[in-house]
Amino acid sequence: MAVDGAHGAEGGAPALDVIERQTAVLVRNFELLHRRSDAHEQLDRAEYLLLRVLAEHGPQDINSLAALLGLDPSTAGRQVSALTRQELVERTPAATDRRRCIVTPTSEGLRLMEAVRAARSERLAGLLDGWDEEELRLLGAMFTKYNRAVAEHFLTPPADLPVPAL
């Protein structure tokens, strides 16, 4: 699909102008939801996402974890250090290279991540009440496609991130 900013079929604003404005509103709304939620009291967004990635992909070394998160390895290392101090992840030497550490979530880390995931899902269910299954599927597919475009443009995307069919 070519994206040239042309006016819509009904003569509305150019598509890219609508997307730009709605992206700004979306970011503001995400911040609003964040401020009005207590989910971040248990885990902040970075901690949650790191634990979620470990739960989905299994134990990882810092470089692999950084790539999956789209972070610099030093940033991922600092986040892992913070989670290690909280006993939410453990670091163990890699079996094949004792210089590398493998990061594994603890049972408490997984418990907290799941509690935050459930709270976030419940909040989303309330916000999207009344949407039909096709609308929910389409929104999920479009968010995934958008996030993949950002990753491909700015990051080294993980090879196993699926692109959903639209």
> What is the tens place of the pLDDT at every residue in 146-161?
988 888 887 754 455 5
Q: pLDDT tens digits, residue range 49-87?
A: 999 999 999 999 999 999 899 888 999 999 999 999 999
The two counts, helices (H) then strands (E), for the chain are 7, 3
In this structure, of 8-17, 83-92, 97-106, 129-138, the range with the lowest mean pLDDT score is: 8-17
Q: Domains of the chain (ranges plus CATH)? A: 42-151 (1.10.10.10)
Contacts of 59 (CB under 8 A, 6+ apart): 102, 103, 104
pTM of the entire predicted model: 0.76
Long-range contacts of 149-157 (CB under 8 A, 24+ apart): 151/70, 154/70, 155/70, 156/67, 156/70, 157/70
Asked whether 90 and 101 are in contact (CB, 8 A), the reply is: no
Q: pLDDT tens digits, residue range 102-129?
A: 999 999 999 999 999 998 899 999 999 9
Question: Which residue in the block uniquely carries the two structure tokens 């039909």?
Answer: 132
Long-range contacts of 81-84 (CB under 8 A, 24+ apart): 82/47, 83/47, 83/50, 83/51, 83/109
d(CA 24, CA 130): 24
pLDDT at position 18: 92
d(CA 75, CA 73): 5
